[in-house]
Structures are given as structure tokens and as C-alpha cells.
Amino acid sequence: MDDRGMRGLAPRILLINPNTNRATTAMMVAIAQAEAGDAMIVEGATAASGVPMILDEAALAASAEQVVAIGAGAAGAAGMIVAAFGDPGLETLRGRVTVPVVGLCEAGMLEAAAGGRRFGVATTTPALAATIDAKARALGLGPLYTGIRLTPGDPAALVGDPELLETALADAVALAIERDGAEAVVIGGGPLGRAASALERRFAVPVIGPIPAAIRRLARLLQER
């Protein structure tokens, strides 16, 4: 069987971007597909309304409705990824569909904490810090969680400058390791996906990109079904 035939048999995964930025969707789909290889076919869906980048709790909460509407209205997907680090609408969507649904924050934290590792988060959005902290506790990972290290400056401007973003996140990762004692660090954000991929190779401890982590978690869940 040729590659096209093999891909035709692969499960289709829907990556839902709660932001309205289609370029971000395309970038996240590319990262997810690279991780999935021929084992899955990743397709993207972008929120029709909302903000181009979720920066605070109000925007995060508002995006949940779009996530649920997209996911519940989709047909033929074997699994879904909620591709924003606050996991908006994750639990509601799980209650509406019969396929596995994973979130970036959940997947990243669970992978980082594997084997009892202490882990932290490096991200760009201070207004979402409380939500991220709460997620660690809700997952039962509070005793392993070393906290958040934030990049300085405006998050949207930073994401618009890939070189500066990578440098700023590298500094945050270094602080999480050196000052907080993190044994693994999750990069906290879907739009930070390219920077996360670059940083995976720069540190002795695991630096976890949440998009590949979500693909790996989804693959395990599909195997268990």
C-alpha cells in the first residue's frame, strides 16, 4: 500500500483553535502533523469570533462557546485537541462528543509530571497565570508544580517577533530550572509552538511543547479504545 493509502486509513484529528488567527491554526496543525507522522491526519478549525490571541481570563472564558460549537458540530473526527493553553470548553466538549478530547495545558502538565517530576510553566501571558495555577491543582499535580515564569513585555508584540520570543522564553525556562527546581518545563501556549520546538533542544531537562504533547496523549487514548 502506498503512502496515500496508509494516510487514508489514519484517524482524522480535529485541532480546534479558540483564537481567530488562521495563521496560528496553520502553524499549530503543522506542528501537530509533524509529531503525528503517518499515524494521524490533523485538520484545523478556527474560531469564527473572539480574539486573535487569548491574553486574559475573560477572553479565555468567552472562547469556550466557540470550542464546543466547533467540536460538537464536527463529523468524522476520531479525536480532538483544544488548542489553547487554558483548555477552554474542554470538559463541556468531552460531555458532548464520544471521541477523546485533549487540551494543551492538561497534556503538557501530565507529560511534564510523568514519573513524579517537578515541573514548571514558561509563558507570555501574566493575566492567565491564575488559571494555569488552578489547572495544575485540578489535575492533582499541585505538589509537583513549581509555578510559572513569565516573559516581560506585551505578549502579542512578543509573539510577533519569533527571535525575541524564543530568547525571552529561554530566559523564563532557565529561571524555572535554576531558581524553582523544575525538572521539566512546559511552554504555555499554542501560539508559542514554534518557539517551543526550538527550545526542546536547548536544555538538559525536558522542555515540553504542548502541541506535540497533546498528539502523544491523544495517540495513547486512541490506542486504549
pLDDT given at position 8: 61
Q: Residue 140 has what pLDDT? A: 98
Give the residue-averaged pLDDT of 44-70: 96
Grid look-up 470538559 returns 91
pLDDT band at 5 (very low <50, low <70, confident <90, very high): very low
Return the CATH number of 3-103+212-224, one of 3.40.50.2300, 1.10.10.1800, 3.30.1330.10, 3.40.50.12500. 3.40.50.12500
Q: Are 190 and 44 in contact (CB under 8 A)?
A: no
- The C-alpha atoms of residue 102 and residue 221 are separated, in whole angstroms, by 9
Q: pLDDT, tens digit, for every residue of 205-218? A: 999 999 999 999 99
Q: What is the DSSP letter of 140?
A: T
Cell numbers linked to 112: 511534564
Alpha-carbon distance of 28 to 44, in angstroms, equals 8
Residues for the chain: how many in total? 225
- C-alpha span between 141 and 56 (Å, rounded): 23
For residue 127, give the amino acid letter. A
Give me the residue spans of the domains in the chain. 3-103+212-224, 106-210
What's the confidence (pLDDT) of residue 138?
97
Q: What is the pLDDT of residues 6-27, one digit of tens each?
A: 456 899 999 999 999 999 999 9
pTM: 0.94
Assign 199 a pLDDT band (cuts: 50, 70, 90). very high
Arithmetic mean of pLDDT, 150-157: 94
State mean pLDDT over 172-197.
96
Q: What confidence tens digit (pLDDT) does each residue in 155-179 have?
A: 999 999 999 999 999 999 999 999 9
Cell 458540530 -> residue? 73
Please report which confidence band the pLDDT of residue 73 belongs to, taking 50, 70 and 90 as the band edges: very high
**What is the structure's pLDDT at 7?**
55
Residue 83, SS3?
coil
To the nearest 10 degrees (0 to 180), the angle between helices 129-138 and 104-112 is 60
Q: Which residues lie across from 15 on neighbouring strands?
A: 44, 81
Range 106-210: architecture per CATH: 3-Layer(aba) Sandwich (3.40)
150 - beta bridge partners? 123
Confidence of residue 33 (pLDDT cuts 50, 70, 90): very high
Percent of all residues in the chain with a pLDDT value above 70, rounded to a whole number: 96
Do 3-103+212-224 and 106-210 agree at the fold level?
Answer: yes
How confident is the prediction for the chain on average, in pLDDT? Answer: 94
The radius of gyration of the chain's CA atoms, rounded to the nearest angstrom, is 16
